[in-house]
Amino acid sequence: MLIRTGFGYDSHRFAGDRDFILGGVRIPHEKGLAGHSDADALIHALIDAILGALCAGDIGTHFPDTDPRYKDISSLVLLEHTVRLAREKGYAVAQADSTIIAQAPRLAPHVEAMRKVLSGVLGTEAVSVKAKTNEGMGFIGRGEGIAAFAVCVLKSV
Ligand code: MG
């Protein structure tokens, strides 16, 4: 069995008048994240981790933010595309670990729901979602936006 590992990072700024979608879950908050798609930073980090493991470019090359097809699209759809691409190249996701950094809202109550949704799309129960604040420091600490990091392990199938 061949093993590949990839790493991904993403950040998005908060903006009014949008739903706050993270890990495929809608989270009650007065602001959402700005972006061409639904701006799901956690899923974008996961997509880049999978693409990184495949040595297949990044989210911008596969789903350009200039393409009207991806306007306001659910990032779950982009993640499904990416998992399918991995399959076509002979790989399945064996494990994913991730960390979201957000000052507010408190994400811990939503982590299990995100884990379940992501497990369904990634095709493995070995999905970890962790959430923390930035101790009030920098753009995240000021509540201007959030960031997410992800690592994915792929196995040949
Ligand atoms: Mg993004």
Domains in the chain and their CATH numbers?
3-156 (3.30.1330.50)
Alpha carbon distance 78, 94 (integer Å):
19
Note the pLDDT of residue 149. Answer: 98
Residue 39 has pLDDT above 90, yes or no: yes
Q: What is the mean pLDDT of residues 26-32?
A: 96
- Distance (angstroms) between ligand 1 centre and the Cα of 91 equals 24
Residue 33 has pLDDT above 90, yes or no: yes
Note the pLDDT of residue 132. Answer: 98
Q: Find all residues with CB under 8 Å of 144, minimum gap 6, and list them.
A: 13, 14
Residues of the chain with pLDDT > 70: what percent?
100
pLDDT in tens, 110-148: 999 999 999 999 999 999 999 999 999 999 999 999 999
- Distance (angstroms) between ligand 1 centre and the Cα of 43 equals 8
- Distance (angstroms) between ligand 1 centre and the Cα of 127 equals 20
Residue 16 has pLDDT above 90, yes or no: no
- Distance (angstroms) between ligand 1 centre and the Cα of 1 equals 32
100-to-57, 91, 103 alpha-carbon distances in Å:
23, 26, 10
- Distance (angstroms) between ligand 1 centre and the Cα of 18 equals 15
Note the pLDDT of residue 117. Answer: 98
Element of type H or E holding 16: none
Average pLDDT, the chain: 97
- Distance (angstroms) between ligand 1 centre and the Cα of 2 equals 29
- Distance (angstroms) between ligand 1 centre and the Cα of 123 equals 22
| DSSP-derived 3-state class of residue 111 | helix
